[in-house]
Each structure stands twice: as C-alpha cells, then as structure tokens.
C-alpha cells in the first residue's frame, strides 16, 4: 500500500508516524512545500523575541531524523499542485528545481493546513508588511529586526499569534499597536472577560485600536503607513498581518472534493472526504463542535494531531472516530494566563442554547500560603440541564490546571453541580481544600437548589434607583471609598447582622462585594430575614473591569464608578 500525505506539520506528521507504527510495510511519502516539517507554530513568536535562541528548537523533527526513525520519505520544498481522484495521482512541483511530476497513491491524506488571511488591500505586498505562519516567515521577520532595528510595529489582528508576537516585540523594546476590527482581543473569550486582557495589555504599554478597520498600506520612506477607515493613518517601522487563517483547500476544491464552512474540507468522523480513499486532517478541515454539535472550523494543534492519528488508524484497517473539537486553548500575555474551552456565552446564545453563567474570583492556592493570586473564572452552562458548556479563565499561576479539569469535565458530559464532587489534588502551594473548580460547582448547586439568585454586570444600569429596591455593598468602608457602583449603599458584612433593621422591609435586595463571596454570605443572611436577595456575579472586581473598558473604548461613556 502506498500512502501519500500532503503536508508535514502537525496533522500530516502525526498521521505518518502513527501509520508506520501500525504498518511496517506501507510505502509512505510526505510532500511538504516549506523547507521544514513537524515545526511548532506556537513557538515562532518566542524565537523572534529571543526567548527561544536556537532555531533548531523550532522543529521537533528534521526530514532526515523522521526518515531514520519511521522510514517515511519526507519530501520538503515539494508542493502538490493537483489531485486526480480518478487516476489516483497527485501532481507535484519541486520548488527548488522546478521539476513537475506525477505520483500515484492507494490512499491520500490531505493536511495542507491553513494560510494567513491576506486581505485584498493596497500595499499588502510591501517588504515591511509580514505574515507569521511558517518557519520561513519567522526567519524573515527575525532577519528584518536584526538588520533594520525597527522601533515600532503595527499588528493587524488580535488573536493568539498576534498577542504572543506583540509581547515578544515589546520585550525587544518596540512600540507595539494592535489594530482589530472587532472591539475585543481573543475571540474565544466573551467581551467581559476580554476586558481583563485589554487592561493588562494597556498597563504594559501596548496600544490597542479596537473597533478600527485597516484599509491598506502605503510606503512612507523607510516606514509604513497603516491606513485606517475614518481615522488618521498609523505609521510604523513594520507591520504584521495576524488577522487570522483560512483553510488552504484550493487543490481539494479543484479536485471536486466537497467543501464545508469557510471553504474547509468536509470530512466524516473517520476523517474521510467525499472522494474515495482520500482523507483530510488538521487546520484545513471542517469538524463538529463537540458541545453544540454544529459545523466548525477550529485550527488548533491538538485536534490536528488527533485527527492525523485517526486517519492513520482507518487507513491501516481500524475504525477510529473523531467526536469533535471543543477549542481548548491557553495563551500567555506577560505574567497573565488566558484560557478557554467549550462554548463562550456569545456562541452558546448564537447556537440557540438557553444558557446562564457564573463568575467567580478565587485564589490559585490557599490564602494563608504566600504568593496567592486571583483568577477570574466564567462558567457557562445550560440553564435547564445545568450541563457544563464552556469556561474562560484569566489569571496567573494555576489557570492552565483549572481549564484542563473543566475541558475534561465537558468531554465527560458533566453538569456544573457535579464539579463539586471532583476530588482534586490539594496542598497549600497549589490549591485550596475547596479548589476553584469545586467552588464553581458549589455556586451552581446553590442556584439549582434555590439558595442563591444572581444578577450580572449588564443588569446594573437597569436596576431601579427610585427606592423600590435596596442596593447594598458589603465591602469594607475602605474598599467602598476607593470606588463603588453608583446607587449602592455601604454596610460592611461584619456589621450587617446588627443593622438588618436599616433595610426597608418588603423590598428586593441586590448585594455586591469585591468578588461575590461576601455578598453571597450576606444574601444567605438577609434572605432568612424574609428578604428577596440577589447576589452580584463576579463582584465589584468584574464591574470595575467592564466599566473601565467601556471608558477606554468610548471617552464619552461615563465610567460608572463613584469615589
């Protein structure tokens, strides 16, 4: 059996290695148009910034080492330009010699990946306008920085690669501006959680132009003007397009293979395309969103590797199935860690799911152990079944651990109240006896059992200020004086029991504290005195972050913080 694999990075290399482990006699040929295989896309910004110093560290395998271990012919600098599903051949061009030839196959695996989105804008071909996707792109940017010593950069786009590159360019002393058409960074996050990311970026000196549209580029001597719709241009020494990626599926389309959303290759759960004996994996394929069941395009390395393995299993005579992607991801921004899995609130609602959420702000480990830091967690769940739909966490140490537990819980089909039952490792330097994941379970369990009702930051402006409800802040006097929500009176939690008489009888009470814990305790207290009580999800910390972000985005917006 002869198997040809188009693409030698995550999905293609994984498929080739797995197939060899299953079939020692198969002839396996991989055509990779770049000069590198099995390289770490996510590590490219860190080589540019100098955190990774050896360029060889970017590649997990070389063509020679891969062939020596797996007896796979790795043909780099070879581009597959056409497929004939009837003749079962591919047309290949040697990019170094220019030679064009045909190669036959018994089974074909397409792993062409995704290409950086290059919009049809004027000036996009200028030599100071870059993309970052391949090792060659990385070397080109690195060489430019070493030779030209740029002092400023504009990054178009605000996703993973853009944030990582922005951090690394700033580490080199560059002034960095991110321009993004949507009004937030990091699309996997909801806007309210992205507000914490924006605050961190701005605090570190990053310039954010959110809600701005790039219309083109013009050379200005040895600099570049970035043309912005309805605004003055931005001038920088270099520009990197990080707008996103598009499935690289031209050869599949030309061969008549059926495509799905965003032009991705349509596959079944065995990674089989519409053409006989042709499989597809990785960033080029359409998958099923594991949570919503809807078609999705989720270009991540983890799913690509799993899909390559599944395709190899099936080529070798097995019956492996891919059950879908849930988009688990994590990224570092300076000392902040940002992670998500499953559906965010925005996408859950777009999918027609009747969902709710909780926001909590626990410490990453026991409070009495020094060095603890707060993380903000947003848990999205089905309002009727309490099924865990997704999670977002912004914080520091321990974020990756919690998002992995929550990603596993989603895959296991757990409800949020069931998180309370998880027995997780505890020692003071790592966690608390009630882990943050357990706390999320306790909170939704309380909601389910009627022990807690809540309101959210987007409800604040709609709360009546006519005296028909009581708005109560249970933080300390010092905390309250440093900033509070307009209209909320201050009775610290430790005084509340003795001052219950100050609350007007028969009126609902909406209670706020710093994170939502003291206000929950207060709610349980006053509800047993006959009050209808609502706890503020996420607390003042969430409200302040959102309010300040609104101010940063719109100077005319009243910040809504009183001191």
Ranges of H-type helices in 326-471: 345-350, 399-411, 436-448
Cβ atoms within 10 A of the Cβ of 376, count?
23
Angle, nearest 10°, between helix axes 191-203 and 160-171? 10
Helix (H) or strand (E) holding 124: none
Query: Is the separation of the CB atoms in 183 and 268 below 8 Å?
Result: no
The residues pairing with 238 across neighbouring beta strands, listed in sequence order, are: 153
- The C-alpha atoms of residue 479 and residue 300 are separated, in whole angstroms, by 42
Query: Is the separation of the CB atoms in 537 and 454 below 8 Å?
Result: yes
The DSSP 8-state label assigned to residue 406 in this structure reads: H
For β-strands 533-536 and 454-455, DSSP reports them as parallel
The DSSP 8-state label assigned to residue 372 in this structure reads: -
- The C-alpha atoms of residue 20 and residue 71 are separated, in whole angstroms, by 8
Query: Is the separation of the CB atoms in 444 and 417 below 8 Å?
Result: yes
Q: Give me the DSSP letters along 508-553.
A: -EEEE-SSSHHHHHHHHHHHTTT--EEEETTHHHHHHHHHHHHHHH
Helix (H) or strand (E) holding 131: strand 129-131
Query: Is the separation of the CB atoms in 458 and 359 below 8 Å?
Result: no
Cα dihedral 121→126→132→133 (10° resolution): 70
The DSSP 8-state label assigned to residue 42 in this structure reads: G
Query: Is the separation of the CB atoms in 116 and 101 below 8 Å?
Result: no
Write the CA distances from 162 to 128, 211, 236, 486, integer angstroms.
Answer: 16, 16, 16, 37
Kindly give, in sequence order, each residue whose CB lies less than 8 Å from that of residue 405, ignoring residues fewer than 6 positions away: 422, 424, 437
Write the CA distances from 39 to 14, 31, 54, 144, integer angstroms.
Answer: 12, 15, 13, 21
Query: Is the separation of the CB atoms in 511 and 430 below 8 Å?
Result: no
- The C-alpha atoms of residue 414 and residue 386 are separated, in whole angstroms, by 9
- The C-alpha atoms of residue 82 and residue 90 are separated, in whole angstroms, by 6
- The C-alpha atoms of residue 314 and residue 279 are separated, in whole angstroms, by 10
3-state secondary structure 234-285: EEECEEEECCCEEECCHHHHHCCCCECHHHCECCCCCCECCCCCEEECHHHE
For β-strands 470-473 and 207-210, DSSP reports them as unpaired
Catalytic residue, chosen from 15, 42, 355, 551, is: 42
Helix (H) or strand (E) holding 34: none
Asked if 42 is an active-site residue, the reply is yes
The tokens for 208 are: 């954010």
Catalytic sites, residue numbers: 42
């Amino acid at each position: 059996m002869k198997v040809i694999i188009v693409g030698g990075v995550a999905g293609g290399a994984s498929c080739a290695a797995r197939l060899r482990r299953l079939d020692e006699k198969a002839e396996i040929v991989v055509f990779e148009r770049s000069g590198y295989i099995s390289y770490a896309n996510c590590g490219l910004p860190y080589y540019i910034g100098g955190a990774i110093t050896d360029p060889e560290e970017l590649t997990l395998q070389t063509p020679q080492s891969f062939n020596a271990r797996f007896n796979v012919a790795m043909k780099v600098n070879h581009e597959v330009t056409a497929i004939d599903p009837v003749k079962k051949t591919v047309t290949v061009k040697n990019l170094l010699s220019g030679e064009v030839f045909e190669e036959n196959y018994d089974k074909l695996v397409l792993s062409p990946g995704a290409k950086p989105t290059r919009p049809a804008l004027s000036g996009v071909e200028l030599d100071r306008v870059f993309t970052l996707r391949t090792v060659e792109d990385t070397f080109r940017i690195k060489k430019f920085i070493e030779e030209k010593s740029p002092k400023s950069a504009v990054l178009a786009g605000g996703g993973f690669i853009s944030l990582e590159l922005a951090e690394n360019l700033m580490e080199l002393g560059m002034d960095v501006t991110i321009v993004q058409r949507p009004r937030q960074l990091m699309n996997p996050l909801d806007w309210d959680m992205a507000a914490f990311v924006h605050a961190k970026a701005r605090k570190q000196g990053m310039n954010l132009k959110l809600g701005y549209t790039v219309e083109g580029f013009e050379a200005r001597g040895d600099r570049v003007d970035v043309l912005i719709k309805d605004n003055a241009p931005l001038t920088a020494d270099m520009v990197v397009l990080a707008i996103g990626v598009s499935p690289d599926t031209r050869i599949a389309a030309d061969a008549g293979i059926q495509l799905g959303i965003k032009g991705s290759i349509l596959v079944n759960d065995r990674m089989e395309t519409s053409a006989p004996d042709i499989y597809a994996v990785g960033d080029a394929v359409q998958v099923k969103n594991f949570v919503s069941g809807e078609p999705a395009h989720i270009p991540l390395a983890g799913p690509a590797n799993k899909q390559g393995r599944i395709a190899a299993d099936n080529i070798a005579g097995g019956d492996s199935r891919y059950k879908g992607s849930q988009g688990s991801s994590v990224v570092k921004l300076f000392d902040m860690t940002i992670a998500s899995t499953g559906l965010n609130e925005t996408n859950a609602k777009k999918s027609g799911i009747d969902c709710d959420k909780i926001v909590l702000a626990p410490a990453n480990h026991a409070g009495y152990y020094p060095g603890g830091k707060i993380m903000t967690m947003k848990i999205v769940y089905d309002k009727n079944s309490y099924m865990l739909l997704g999670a977002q966490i912004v914080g520091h140490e321990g974020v990756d651990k919690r998002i992995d537990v929550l990603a596993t819980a989603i895959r296991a089909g757990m409800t949020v109240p069931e998180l309370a039952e998880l027995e997780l490792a505890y020692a003071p330097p790592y966690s608390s006896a009630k882990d943050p994941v357990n706390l999320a379970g306790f909170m939704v369990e309380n909601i389910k059992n009627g022990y807690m009702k809540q309101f959210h930051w987007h409800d604040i402006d709609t709360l009546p200020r006519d005296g028909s409800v009581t708005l109560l802040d249970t933080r300390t006097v010092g905390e309250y004086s440093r900033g509070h929500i307009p209209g909320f009176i201050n009775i610290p939690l430790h005084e509340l029991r003795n001052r219950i008489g100050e609350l007007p009888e028969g009126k609902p009470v909406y209670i706020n504290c710093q994170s939502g814990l003291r206000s929950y305790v207060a709610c349980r207290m006053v509800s047993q005195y006959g009050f209808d009580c609502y706890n503020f999800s996420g607390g003042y910390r969430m409200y302040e972050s959102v309010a300040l972000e609104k101010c940063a985005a719109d100077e005319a917006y009243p910040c809504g913080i009183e001191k």
